[in-house]
Amino acid sequence: MNVIKLISNALKEQGYGGLFQGGVCGCKVNDLSPATCMTEHCEIGYLHTHSTKNIWVIHKHKEPIGDARIEEISDYCE
């Protein structure tokens, strides 16, 4: 088992959806660091998915953030 798998398992056990760097990127718990970009700047967060579009974000708050906010964050990070 590697470090990425250990972190992924720990995040899942705690109910988190992945990692993010505000305004930069995010990755889902099942695909952590797909570009081998994990650093000490990554924060844990919760997965939020858009209700009609195929977009998602990892956000620090567990409470729903709404489609408009998901789009705003997604657009900012492109």
pTM of the model: 0.89
Range of the domain at 49: 3-76
Q: Please state the domain count of the chain.
A: 1
pLDDT band at 22 (very low <50, low <70, confident <90, very high): confident
pLDDT digits (tens, 9 = 90+) for 31-72: 998 888 889 999 999 999 999 999 999 999 999 999 999 999
Beta strand ranges found along 1-78 (DSSP E): 18-21, 25-28, 43-49, 56-59
